Amino acid sequence: MAAVLDGQAGTLASVWSGGHLNAPVPATQLRVLFVVERYGSINVTGVATELGALLSSASRLCGRLEATGLLERVPGPDRRAITLRLTPRGADLLADLRRVRRGALAEVLAGMDTDDRAALRLGLERFHEAVVRQRGEAPLGFSMPA
């Protein structure tokens, strides 16, 4: 079952992430945007931790995103720490990518029988519930271009 799911999940992931291939920023920078979006505001150290990257690499990625107007650095609560947050342009980019992704998924789903769509939804819901039971909490999400 795991081998079958592995192959089929790859197909789902391919359709799901296909719109990200045309994103105006590289996939690594896109991951940063999704991490910042997930947290609302986060410091560069947090971004590095989420990406499993060196602090210097995360800082450079954030600098590039700031230069393109997708991310902004703002003083933190204690004024010593700098936090990152999406600009309206960055939020719009992620919303546009989601629209493309959902459109691609809807196109495939439209070609499926109603009962098959219902079974897929139920199966994915049960899979999510099993993950929550196993881990004790819902996963934060996929930080790859999502």
Q: Encode pLDDT of 41-81 as tens digits.
A: 999 999 999 999 999 999 999 999 999 999 999 987 777 78
Vertex 22: Cα angle to 42 and 12 (nearest 5): 85
Res 122: pLDDT: 96
For residues 82 and 74, the answer to whether their CB atoms sit within 8 Å is yes
Res 17: pLDDT: 83
pLDDT band for position 142 (50/70/90)?
low
Average per-residue pLDDT for the chain? 89
Strand partners, 74: 83
Res 105: pLDDT: 93
Tens of pLDDT, residues 114-125: 999 999 999 999
pLDDT band for position 138 (50/70/90)?
confident
28 Cβ contact partners less than 8 Å away, ≥ 6 residues apart: 51, 61
Tens of pLDDT, residues 8-32: 988 888 888 887 778 889 989 999 9
Res 141: pLDDT: 57
